[in-house]
Structure 1
Protein backbone atom coordinates (compact mmCIF):
# COMPACT_ATOMS: atom_id res chain seq x y z
CA UNK A 1 0.00 0.00 0.00
CA UNK A 2 1.03 3.67 -0.10
CA UNK A 3 2.44 3.50 3.42
CA UNK A 4 5.17 1.23 2.05
CA UNK A 5 6.80 4.32 0.60
CA UNK A 6 7.20 6.24 3.83
CA UNK A 7 10.80 7.18 4.52
CA UNK A 8 12.69 7.96 7.68
CA UNK A 9 13.98 11.53 7.93
CA UNK A 10 17.33 10.27 9.21
CA UNK A 11 18.32 8.73 5.89
CA UNK A 12 16.94 11.24 3.39
CA UNK A 13 18.59 13.70 1.07
CA UNK A 14 17.08 15.87 -1.66
CA UNK A 15 18.66 13.57 -4.24
CA UNK A 16 17.00 10.51 -2.71
CA UNK A 17 13.62 12.21 -2.73
CA UNK A 18 14.08 13.18 -6.40
CA UNK A 19 14.98 9.57 -7.23
CA UNK A 20 11.77 8.40 -5.55
CA UNK A 21 9.76 10.98 -7.51
CA UNK A 22 11.26 9.66 -10.76
CA UNK A 23 9.75 6.20 -10.19
CA UNK A 24 6.64 6.08 -12.43
CA UNK A 25 5.22 3.22 -10.36
CA UNK A 26 4.57 5.35 -7.26
CA UNK A 27 2.13 8.27 -7.54
CA UNK A 28 2.67 9.30 -3.90
CA UNK A 29 5.97 9.81 -2.10
CA UNK A 30 5.36 9.65 1.64
CA UNK A 31 7.80 11.49 3.89
CA UNK A 32 8.07 11.21 7.63
CA UNK A 33 6.76 14.30 9.49
CA UNK A 34 10.17 14.68 11.10
CA UNK A 35 11.77 15.62 7.78
CA UNK A 36 13.85 18.71 8.61
CA UNK A 37 12.30 22.01 7.52
CA UNK A 38 15.45 22.93 5.56
CA UNK A 39 15.09 19.76 3.49
CA UNK A 40 11.43 20.52 2.80
CA UNK A 41 12.27 24.16 1.99
CA UNK A 42 14.89 23.06 -0.57
CA UNK A 43 12.55 20.63 -2.28
CA UNK A 44 10.78 23.04 -4.70
CA UNK A 45 14.06 24.36 -6.15
CA UNK A 46 15.52 20.85 -6.40
CA UNK A 47 12.41 19.64 -8.22
CA UNK A 48 12.56 22.60 -10.63
CA UNK A 49 16.22 21.83 -11.37
CA UNK A 50 15.24 18.22 -12.06
CA UNK A 51 12.70 19.37 -14.68
CA UNK A 52 9.42 19.38 -12.76
CA UNK A 53 6.68 21.97 -12.41
CA UNK A 54 5.81 22.33 -8.73
CA UNK A 55 2.42 23.02 -7.24
CA UNK A 56 3.00 23.79 -3.57
CA UNK A 57 -0.06 23.54 -1.31
CA UNK A 58 1.67 25.29 1.59
CA UNK A 59 0.00 28.43 2.81
CA UNK A 60 -0.58 30.68 5.80
CA UNK A 61 -3.47 28.53 7.02
CA UNK A 62 -3.85 24.75 6.96
CA UNK A 63 -6.07 23.04 4.44
CA UNK A 64 -9.00 21.90 6.56
CA UNK A 65 -11.77 20.93 4.13
CA UNK A 66 -12.72 20.51 0.50
CA UNK A 67 -13.29 24.24 -0.04
CA UNK A 68 -9.85 25.22 1.26
CA UNK A 69 -8.23 22.39 -0.71
CA UNK A 70 -9.80 23.57 -3.96
CA UNK A 71 -8.93 27.18 -3.18
CA UNK A 72 -5.29 26.31 -2.54
CA UNK A 73 -4.99 24.37 -5.79
CA UNK A 74 -6.48 27.19 -7.84
CA UNK A 75 -4.41 29.85 -6.05
CA UNK A 76 -1.12 28.04 -6.66
CA UNK A 77 -1.42 26.71 -10.21
CA UNK A 78 -1.04 28.43 -13.53
CA UNK A 79 -4.38 27.25 -14.93
CA UNK A 80 -7.87 28.70 -14.54
CA UNK A 81 -9.73 27.61 -11.42
CA UNK A 82 -11.70 24.35 -11.45
CA UNK A 83 -15.06 24.68 -13.18
CA UNK A 84 -16.96 22.91 -10.41
CA UNK A 85 -16.28 23.17 -6.68
CA UNK A 86 -15.98 19.44 -6.08
CA UNK A 87 -13.40 16.71 -6.44
CA UNK A 88 -14.47 15.76 -9.96
CA UNK A 89 -13.79 19.37 -10.95
CA UNK A 90 -10.36 19.11 -9.32
CA UNK A 91 -9.59 15.97 -11.31
CA UNK A 92 -10.47 17.70 -14.60
CA UNK A 93 -8.50 20.76 -13.53
CA UNK A 94 -5.37 18.70 -12.82
CA UNK A 95 -5.69 16.83 -16.09
CA UNK A 96 -5.76 20.21 -17.91
CA UNK A 97 -2.56 21.57 -16.35
CA UNK A 98 -0.02 22.41 -19.06
CA UNK A 99 2.57 19.81 -20.07
CA UNK A 100 5.34 22.37 -20.38
CA UNK A 101 7.88 20.82 -18.02
CA UNK A 102 10.26 18.11 -19.12
CA UNK A 103 9.41 15.64 -16.32
CA UNK A 104 5.88 16.56 -15.26
CA UNK A 105 4.26 17.92 -12.10
CA UNK A 106 4.87 17.47 -8.39
CA UNK A 107 2.33 18.54 -5.77
CA UNK A 108 3.81 19.30 -2.35
CA UNK A 109 1.51 18.86 0.63
CA UNK A 110 3.48 19.48 3.80
CA UNK A 111 0.64 19.64 6.34
CA UNK A 112 -2.20 17.23 5.52
CA UNK A 113 -3.11 16.57 9.17
CA UNK A 114 -6.01 18.99 9.48
CA UNK A 115 -7.65 17.81 6.26
CA UNK A 116 -7.29 14.18 7.35
CA UNK A 117 -8.75 14.94 10.77
CA UNK A 118 -11.65 17.06 9.52
CA UNK A 119 -12.49 15.16 6.34
CA UNK A 120 -10.65 11.88 5.89
CA UNK A 121 -12.91 10.89 2.99
CA UNK A 122 -11.83 13.99 1.03
CA UNK A 123 -8.17 13.25 1.78
CA UNK A 124 -8.53 9.64 0.61
CA UNK A 125 -10.38 10.71 -2.52
CA UNK A 126 -7.67 13.30 -3.19
CA UNK A 127 -5.10 10.50 -3.14
CA UNK A 128 -7.21 8.49 -5.59
CA UNK A 129 -7.60 11.50 -7.90
CA UNK A 130 -3.87 12.20 -7.86
CA UNK A 131 -3.14 8.54 -8.63
CA UNK A 132 -5.61 8.66 -11.55
CA UNK A 133 -4.08 11.90 -12.87
CA UNK A 134 -0.59 10.44 -12.54
CA UNK A 135 -1.53 7.30 -14.48
CA UNK A 136 -3.39 9.28 -17.16
CA UNK A 137 -0.69 11.88 -17.72
CA UNK A 138 2.04 9.26 -17.78
CA UNK A 139 0.16 7.07 -20.26
CA UNK A 140 -0.75 9.96 -22.55
CA UNK A 141 2.21 12.35 -22.23
CA UNK A 142 4.96 10.22 -20.63
CA UNK A 143 5.18 12.81 -17.85
CA UNK A 144 4.81 12.21 -14.15
CA UNK A 145 2.28 13.69 -11.76
CA UNK A 146 3.35 13.09 -8.18
CA UNK A 147 2.31 14.01 -4.71
CA UNK A 148 4.90 14.43 -1.98
CA UNK A 149 3.21 14.41 1.39
CA UNK A 150 4.41 14.41 4.98
CA UNK A 151 2.48 11.92 7.00
Structure 2
Protein backbone atom coordinates (compact mmCIF):
# COMPACT_ATOMS: atom_id res chain seq x y z
CA UNK A 1 0.00 0.00 0.00
CA UNK A 2 1.04 3.57 -0.54
CA UNK A 3 0.98 4.75 3.03
CA UNK A 4 0.55 3.85 6.68
CA UNK A 5 -1.12 5.88 9.44
CA UNK A 6 -0.35 5.04 13.07
CA UNK A 7 -2.11 6.31 16.20
CA UNK A 8 0.09 6.03 19.28
CA UNK A 9 -2.92 6.16 21.63
CA UNK A 10 -6.50 4.94 21.10
CA UNK A 11 -7.81 7.27 23.76
CA UNK A 12 -6.56 9.98 26.07
CA UNK A 13 -7.80 12.35 28.74
CA UNK A 14 -7.33 16.07 29.28
CA UNK A 15 -8.19 18.67 31.91
CA UNK A 16 -10.21 21.87 31.41
CA UNK A 17 -7.92 24.79 30.58
CA UNK A 18 -4.93 22.55 29.86
CA UNK A 19 -3.73 20.92 26.64
CA UNK A 20 -3.79 17.40 25.22
CA UNK A 21 -1.60 15.70 22.60
CA UNK A 22 -3.13 13.47 19.92
CA UNK A 23 -0.02 11.51 18.90
CA UNK A 24 0.19 9.99 15.44
CA UNK A 25 2.79 9.31 12.80
CA UNK A 26 2.70 8.21 9.20
CA UNK A 27 4.85 6.61 6.54
CA UNK A 28 4.72 6.96 2.79
CA UNK A 29 5.85 3.82 0.99
CA UNK A 30 6.34 5.74 -2.22
CA UNK A 31 6.72 9.36 -3.30
CA UNK A 32 3.44 11.16 -3.95
CA UNK A 33 3.14 14.42 -5.85
CA UNK A 34 0.82 15.61 -3.10
CA UNK A 35 -1.14 14.31 -0.13
CA UNK A 36 -3.35 15.66 2.63
CA UNK A 37 -3.83 15.20 6.36
CA UNK A 38 -7.13 16.27 7.89
CA UNK A 39 -8.14 16.35 11.57
CA UNK A 40 -11.84 16.47 12.40
CA UNK A 41 -14.58 15.51 14.84
CA UNK A 42 -18.04 14.37 13.82
CA UNK A 43 -19.16 18.02 14.06
CA UNK A 44 -16.17 20.10 12.95
CA UNK A 45 -13.16 20.11 10.70
CA UNK A 46 -10.17 21.19 12.79
CA UNK A 47 -7.46 21.55 10.19
CA UNK A 48 -6.47 20.58 6.70
CA UNK A 49 -2.84 20.13 5.64
CA UNK A 50 -2.00 19.88 1.95
CA UNK A 51 1.54 18.78 1.14
CA UNK A 52 2.80 19.73 -2.31
CA UNK A 53 6.37 18.45 -2.00
CA UNK A 54 8.19 16.21 0.45
CA UNK A 55 11.17 13.97 1.10
CA UNK A 56 11.20 10.81 3.22
CA UNK A 57 13.80 8.66 4.93
CA UNK A 58 14.31 5.01 3.84
CA UNK A 59 11.49 3.91 6.18
CA UNK A 60 9.07 6.36 4.53
CA UNK A 61 8.87 8.85 7.41
CA UNK A 62 8.79 12.47 6.20
CA UNK A 63 12.04 14.40 6.69
CA UNK A 64 11.03 17.59 4.87
CA UNK A 65 7.73 18.93 3.58
CA UNK A 66 6.39 21.91 1.74
CA UNK A 67 2.70 22.47 2.33
CA UNK A 68 -0.06 24.68 3.63
CA UNK A 69 -1.95 24.26 6.90
CA UNK A 70 -5.50 25.63 7.12
CA UNK A 71 -6.93 25.84 10.64
CA UNK A 72 -10.70 26.30 10.76
CA UNK A 73 -12.11 29.28 12.74
CA UNK A 74 -13.50 27.33 15.71
CA UNK A 75 -9.99 26.06 16.47
CA UNK A 76 -7.97 29.17 15.55
CA UNK A 77 -5.29 29.82 18.21
CA UNK A 78 -6.19 26.55 19.99
CA UNK A 79 -4.19 23.99 18.05
CA UNK A 80 -0.59 23.16 17.30
CA UNK A 81 0.09 20.86 14.36
CA UNK A 82 3.31 18.93 13.82
CA UNK A 83 3.79 18.68 10.07
CA UNK A 84 6.38 15.91 9.99
CA UNK A 85 4.40 13.39 12.03
CA UNK A 86 0.84 14.74 11.80
CA UNK A 87 0.25 14.96 15.56
CA UNK A 88 -2.09 17.57 16.98
CA UNK A 89 -2.13 19.47 20.29
CA UNK A 90 -5.39 21.03 21.51
CA UNK A 91 -4.99 23.99 23.90
CA UNK A 92 -7.36 25.62 26.39
CA UNK A 93 -9.50 22.51 26.69
CA UNK A 94 -13.24 22.74 27.40
CA UNK A 95 -15.65 19.97 28.43
CA UNK A 96 -17.21 20.09 24.95
CA UNK A 97 -13.85 19.07 23.46
CA UNK A 98 -14.73 15.53 24.63
CA UNK A 99 -15.11 13.72 21.30
CA UNK A 100 -13.74 11.15 18.95
CA UNK A 101 -11.09 12.83 16.80
CA UNK A 102 -10.47 11.47 13.29
CA UNK A 103 -7.26 11.90 11.36
CA UNK A 104 -7.45 11.19 7.64
CA UNK A 105 -4.42 10.66 5.39
CA UNK A 106 -5.24 10.89 1.70
CA UNK A 107 -2.83 10.08 -1.13
CA UNK A 108 -3.41 9.44 -4.82
CA UNK A 109 -3.57 5.75 -3.97
CA UNK A 110 -5.94 5.49 -1.02
CA UNK A 111 -7.49 7.06 2.08
CA UNK A 112 -6.69 5.93 5.62
CA UNK A 113 -8.63 7.07 8.68
CA UNK A 114 -7.85 6.54 12.37
CA UNK A 115 -9.52 7.76 15.55
CA UNK A 116 -8.45 8.89 19.01
CA UNK A 117 -11.11 9.24 21.69
CA UNK A 118 -10.59 12.26 23.97
CA UNK A 119 -12.31 12.76 27.33
CA UNK A 120 -12.03 16.14 29.05
CA UNK A 121 -12.49 16.29 32.83
CA UNK A 122 -12.65 19.10 35.37
CA UNK A 123 -9.77 17.67 37.40
CA UNK A 124 -6.74 15.62 36.46
CA UNK A 125 -7.26 11.87 36.43
CA UNK A 126 -4.18 10.38 38.04
CA UNK A 127 -4.85 6.75 37.15
CA UNK A 128 -3.74 7.29 33.57
CA UNK A 129 -6.67 5.23 32.38
CA UNK A 130 -8.94 6.36 29.57
CA UNK A 131 -12.64 6.75 30.16
CA UNK A 132 -14.54 5.00 27.37
CA UNK A 133 -17.10 7.05 25.52
CA UNK A 134 -20.72 6.20 26.43
CA UNK A 135 -21.28 5.00 22.88
CA UNK A 136 -18.50 2.47 23.40
CA UNK A 137 -17.08 3.11 19.94
CA UNK A 138 -13.49 3.11 21.09
CA UNK A 139 -12.52 1.42 24.32
CA UNK A 140 -8.93 0.74 25.20
CA UNK A 141 -8.78 -2.65 26.89
CA UNK A 142 -5.73 -2.89 29.10
CA UNK A 143 -4.60 -4.77 32.15
CA UNK A 144 -5.14 -2.40 35.11
CA UNK A 145 -1.96 -3.79 36.65
CA UNK A 146 0.08 -2.58 33.69
CA UNK A 147 -0.31 1.05 34.78
CA UNK A 148 2.20 2.34 37.30
CA UNK A 149 0.50 4.13 40.17
For Structure 1 versus Structure 2, the TM-score category normalised by the shorter chain is: under 0.3
Per residue, is there more helix in 1 or in 2? 1
Per residue, is there more strand in 1 or in 2? 2
State TM-score, norm by structure 2. 0.26
State TM-score, norm by structure 1. 0.26
Larger Rg: 1 or 2?
Answer: 2
